[in-house]
Structure 1
Amino acid sequence: MPKVSVEIPQELLDDLDDHVGDEGKFVNRSDAIRASIRKTLDLLEEIDERQGRIDSSEADD
């Protein structure tokens, strides 16, 4: 799996870390970031469909 490096403000990283670990929703930061990216892409796809920028049949590909 390719690795990506990003700069994140400390406040955002602290908020992310609140959801990672034994008592969090995610096992590690990578899992949390992947889930966030997936969710964002899904939302963007829904917006594009509503705006008529993509056909909903194309979105299933």
Structure 2
Amino acid sequence: MIDLTGAAWRKSTRSSSQGNCVEVAANIAGLVAVRDSKDQRGPALVFTPAGWDAFLSFAKTRR
């Protein structure tokens, strides 16, 4: 299990007023973590930086 205790989570500036979005932490060496902002103690997805970049590139093409 990866320890995300020191993760600095940030929420998208496009987050709705209800806060329905994801939060990203990129301050962990070699990892990018993503979690549901409504369930901050719930699970997080963890990517390598290259994997995160690939995910974002794919998502941007699916708008």
**Would you tell me which structure has more helix in proportion to its own residues?**
1
Structure whose alpha-carbon radius of gyration is higher: 1
Tell me if both proteins adopt one fold, taking TM over 0.5 as the criterion: no
